[in-house]
Structure 1
Amino acid sequence: MDEYDFLGDVAVAGSVDSFDRAITPFLSQAFHAKSLLAIHFHRTRLPKVLFRWIPDKTLRQLFDKRYEKLGFMVDPFFHRAFLVQDWEACLLRDIAPDRFESSEYFTNYFGDTNMVDELGFVARIDNDTAVHLSMGRNQGQRRFRTNDVVRFGQFAKILAPKLRQILINQPADDVVEAQPLDRRFHAMAQARHTNISIREAEVAALIVQGHSSRAIGLKLGISGLTVKVHRRTLYKKLSISSQNELFGLLVNYVGADA
């Protein structure tokens, strides 16, 4: 398929399925991607996977098992989606927290799936919803380069508004409420008969997303030293000693709560 046919198919797409059929074959080949997916985000509800093309069985199973349940809450694209006013095309590494690649989520998900890079866009629909489309590359492939980002950004000028328009015109599905990450930590601690403060829960949420103490301080408007105090107190209350264990408690709690 050439670029003109691709853009023509996108222009006439009137549903998520026809949009999927229009873009997946072209983008996966043009960008040498090993996965492609689109997700409808909501601030306080579980996300809806609109479509996903993941030929690798292991990657597909891990995505299906982990993403909608918990993974989206530590996905930098999810958080970025509610910061942009219109739409934005970007690399995962350019929007991720400063310690993201040393986080347990990165090790747990990207390590197990052999993904090495992700390029996509986020587009706001309204105050509470957004849509995300991304492509991934796996081990053995190079990361996306600047020319890939530029070219994808050119396509996104058409793809982002089109997908947003389709979702605006699509009837709303039944939705499932989802607790924000800090409230999940607070509930998890209570389930363990441990009382942590709201601030400690906020710090816990930012730790597992991959933020350093300095970055957490900037986000919460407190000093890095105060963040470290909250971290030590949090770990002591939960009887843990590392970010890995903190993430593990969350995973176990979400699994038990599912």
Structure 2
Amino acid sequence: MLHTAEYKQIGEMIASCRETDFCARLAEWIRTDAAVDTLTMVVYRGSEPPIHLYDDFRNETARAGMMTYLTSTYVLNAFFQRHQTGLHSGVYRIRDLAPDAYLQSELYKGYEVVLSEREEIGYVTEGWPQGLEEIDIAVSLGNLVTAEIGLYRATDRGGFADEAIRLFQARMPVIEAAFHAYWSYSESRPASEEEAPRPNARIGFETFGACLTSREREVVTMILRGHSSESISYNLGISITTVKTHRKRAYEKLNISTQAELLSLFLEHVQSNYNAPH
């Protein structure tokens, strides 16, 4: 049974749904009885880049890492990829969301990411704190809009035990209700006229490699999303030999030879669309 102070904290958090400190209050409540070193909150709307709501990074390097993530490397994120196919509300370990070749791919060697065997998914955005285990709380807000509450704890401090997962799962009804109320109010406010246009990963995928055939583009897109040749073969219903042939031809047309070059070229394409006149 909850103590009086805990009921009060929940009440104050829910009452703040229309206030600017809601995310900070929600973060404080989530941390109750849970060993969390770092917490972040973003919202994904379709294939657009994440909308930053909250983080408790305290140093400039980590904040720069967050900015890099928000503007480019989010396209690699396993949560973002699953969100685009429809991710149900729940509590997930990030490693359980990643495609089969996420750890082995050369993709992440080429663009503002640091490869590390200490990381659950094999890499971390440059500047982002390393050596953290990650749990993600997903809140489905409807119409392909998903909130991601990222919880991080140092692996050398034991990471997150299954007991922590169960604790966050038990709190999901309150988290979902509070976040829905907050987001509904946020969406009802008039949009700022100064809001800048945002790069769009879906448009980036659809327009990338105009010289490629539709099948070559499908293969390239799945490579960018971290799938192995075996996974591409299974999902597209073609042989592994055919996958490799499409990949070879696509690389020749794009004048590249590695997955790292492919990623760099794609992110430059997304960013150029973002910077183009609107």
- TM-score, normalised by the number of residues in structure 1: 0.82
Q: CA deviation at 1:91?
A: 0.8
Q: In the alignment, what sits opposite 1:245?
A: 261
**Structure 1 residues without counterparts, runs of 5 or longer:** none
The answer (yes or no) to whether the contact 1:16–1:50 under 8 Å persists in 2 is no
1:33 aligns with 2:32: no
Structure 2 residue corresponding to 1:110, chosen from 124, 127, 150: 124
Q: In the alignment, what sits opposite 1:133?
A: 149
Counting aligned pairs with the same residue, the percent is 22
Q: SS at 1:143's partner residue? A: coil
Q: CA deviation at 1:80?
A: 2.4
Q: SS at 2:209's partner residue? A: helix
Q: CA deviation at 1:235?
A: 1.7
Distance 1:252 1:149 in 2: 37
1:74 aligns with 2:76: yes
Change (3 A) 1:123 1:162: same
Q: In the alignment, what sits opposite 1:189?
A: 209
Q: In the alignment, what sits opposite 1:120?
A: 136
- TM-score, normalised by the number of residues in structure 2: 0.77
Cα deviation digits, residues 44-91 of structure 1 (max 9, x gap) = 433311222222432221111x22222222222123234447512101
Q: How many residues align?
A: 252
Q: In the alignment, what sits opposite 1:43?
A: 46
Q: SS at 1:41's partner residue? A: strand
Distance 2:224 2:151 in 1: 23
Q: In the alignment, what sits opposite 2:230?
A: 214
* Large movers: runs of 4+ above 6 Å: none
Greater alpha carbon shift after TM alignment, 51-60 vs 8-17: 8-17
Letter paired with 2:58: P
Structure with max Cα Rg:
2
Change (3 A) 1:215 1:202: same
The answer (yes or no) to whether the contact 1:124–1:131 under 8 Å persists in 2 is yes
Change (3 A) 1:205 1:254: same
Q: SS at 2:247's partner residue? A: helix
Q: SS at 2:103's partner residue? A: helix
Q: In the alignment, what sits opposite 2:245?
A: 229
